[in-house]
Amino acid sequence: MSLANTAEILDDIAFFDDWEERYKYIIDLGKELPPMDESLHTPERLVKGCQSNVWLDVQQEADRLQFIVDSDAVIVRGLLALVLAAYHDKTAQEICAFDIDDYFRQLDLERHLSPTRGNGLRAIVGRIRTIAEAVR
Out of 50, 82, 125, 131, the active site residue is 50
Residues 6 or more apart whose Cβ sits within 8 Å of residue 4: 12, 29, 32, 81, 85
Q: What is the largest CA-CA distance in the chain?
A: 41
**Cα(99)–Cα(32) distance, integer angstroms:** 24
Residue 50 annotated among the catalytic residues of the structure? yes
**Cα(81)–Cα(13) distance, integer angstroms:** 13
Q: Is the dihedral of CA 126, 37, 2, 134 positive or negative?
A: positive
Residues annotated as catalytic are: 50
